[in-house]
Amino acid sequence: MYINGQWCEAKSGTRFDVTNPATGEVIGDVPNGGREDVVAAIDAAAEAFKTWSKTTAYQRSAFLYRAYNLMIEKKEHLAVTMTKEQGKPLKASRNEVQYGADFLLWYAEEAKRIYGETLPAPRGDQRFMVQQHPVGVVGAITPWNYPISMITRKVGPALAAGCTVVLKPAEATPLCAVEMYKIFEEAGLPAGVVNLVTAEKPAEIGEEFTNNPKIAKLTFTGSTGVGKMLNQAAAANMKRVSMELGGHAPFIVCDDADPEHAAKGVSLVKFLNTGQACISPNRLFVHKSIAEPFIETLEARVRKMRGGNGLEDGISIGPLVNEAAVAKVDNQVKDAISKGARLVCGGHRLMDNGMDKGHFYAPTVLADVTEDMLIYREETFGPVAPVLTFESEEEVLEKANDTNYGLAAYIYTPNIDRAFRMFEGLKFGIIGINDINPTAAAAPFGGMKESGLGREGGHEGIAEYLETKLGGFSI
């Protein structure tokens, strides 16, 4: 772990193994931190905040620029580490490292754009001044599916704002966090500004983040269920929170869209990271008049996808995170088939070419999916594309919005009038219109309803780490 500028073991002296989900092999081990460790990290961050919060925006920016350059230099090492630990194909890991580095670059620049303002006052002897100040010590919890970019998406704006950080990475992917913290150390960040606590069982860490009075803000990316528990506990102590939670994204293909172009797009985004992305399309609504050519094109592309170890060339489908994930995906597929869905391709665990040692599931396409199936309501987080048909714009808009989630949605149509109507009518925080990648470091990322609170990325992302202070001056 990394606490107060020092690499250290857990107070308990115990460690836990990290395994490769593609092979089942142990690839390393890390300290198994507990309450004592996270308290020490919080204390270090609170002490460091006294000086870090007083640094100039230019000083904080310089640290972030150095960290960015180091990430780019170590891009291949970080990508290989990620593929071994998380499982995604190496090309996807390289893309994520670049995406993660982009947040450090963006917030190196955004640090110098934390503006205040003066306001007109109602009295002649009064002047109002508004300033932005860092909230304080931040407790950050990051997920396993994007184990590097989710660190920089939180740590970057926190440091730029003048906050200090204690990070608890996902227990499945702590090695990526260790490599990132080596970069922060090499960038010269002062002791206590960034701290890392790895833990096999995260409950104690979460409890300390929500209860410790020195933590001013909690930022979490993960499941909606865990997010609700953390949010409830944080609310009892009036802590600021940012929550990036689950999704159930609709992918709408209108009757005027090119079905082959749309099928190509959905094949790229649905099976990205083996479907283990919160913005992954979960319900494919295709107009009845073009459903068959869409399904035919999608099937042809999916059948060409190769599963396997992400370090091998030509692999597009990596492993799922664990056995529970495989079981969940398989249960949704079997439930859908039992209720009348048509299995177009896939629908089984991958066991050949050594994949029996990992957590692999075949890329799957289901047709004739209906609303009574589990896959229609539950987030899949796996490589399954369920296709439903619709006949009218009003019908599909109602069905797309019929979910407690509100993170991402996608629309394919060349009609600009329809595109604007759908964009404005969909109750989701991120909407791609003929665009399967509506994200960037410069853009706000976050959801509505049970998909979260707050935004990450863009200028909105740094605002999450700032408090507004008003000065009323009588002259």
Distances (CA, A) of 437 to 131, 248, 443: 35, 16, 11
| Both structure tokens of 150 | 């989710």
Shortest CA distance to 385 belongs to which of 332, 424, 431, 340? 332
Give the whole-angstrom CA distance, residue 466 versus residue 456: 13
Q: Cβ–Cβ contacts within 10 Å for residue 474, how many?
A: 8
Q: Which residues are catalytic?
A: 244, 278
Query: Read out DSSP for 163-182?
Result: -EEEEE--TT-HHHHHHHHH
| H or E stretch at 90 | helix 90-110
Report the amino acid identity of residue 286: V
Cα 433 to Cα 24: distance, rounded to the nearest angstrom: 39
State the residue for tokens 């990992």: 358
Structure tokens at 1: 């772990």
How is the chain split among helix, strand and coil, in percent rounded to 5? 40, 25, 35
Contacts within 8 Å (CB) and 24+ apart, 420-424: 421/393, 422/252, 422/393, 422/397
